[in-house]
Amino acid sequence: MTVHYTQRAELALNRIAEYTLDEWGPEQRDRHMAVLEHACEVLVPKRARYARVSHRKDLLMLRCEQHVIYFRRLGKDFEIVHVLHERQLPRKHL
């Protein structure tokens, strides 16, 4: 199985990396991004059946530290749709 990323997800991950670099430096950025990458590439496929359904019924979600990874199944593969910090979660803005 393969994990694919939407442009939106790639942009979100790039922004997370830039913010982390600016706020806490390169070592913290590298550690934080490694954790997120592991979650997307390893945990999403392994734990997909336990993932919660998001506010959009076509998306599943998995927490990773302070972030939520939104994804969907594409046959045997997975697509990372978006990654949001917990402060950006939709329910926080309702």
Nearest to 64 by CA among 34, 90, 93, 92: 34
Q: Where are the domains of the chain?
A: 3-93
pLDDT of residue 90: 61
What pLDDT is stored for residue 36 in this prediction?
97
Mean pLDDT of 53-81: 89
DSSP structure class, residue 33: H
CA dist., res. 27 & res. 43, Å (int) = 23
More confident residue, 29 or 87: 29
Q: Does the structural domain 3-93 have CATH classification 3.30.2310.20?
A: yes
CA of 26: how far to CAs of 2, 19, 20, 75, 87, in Å? 28, 11, 8, 37, 23
pLDDT in tens, 1-57: 899 999 999 999 999 999 999 999 999 999 999 999 999 999 999 988 878 776 777
- The pLDDT score that the predictor gives to residue 32 is 95
**Closest to 73 in 3D by CA, of 93, 51, 92:** 51
As a residue count, the chain comes to 94
Q: What is the pLDDT of residue 69?
A: 94
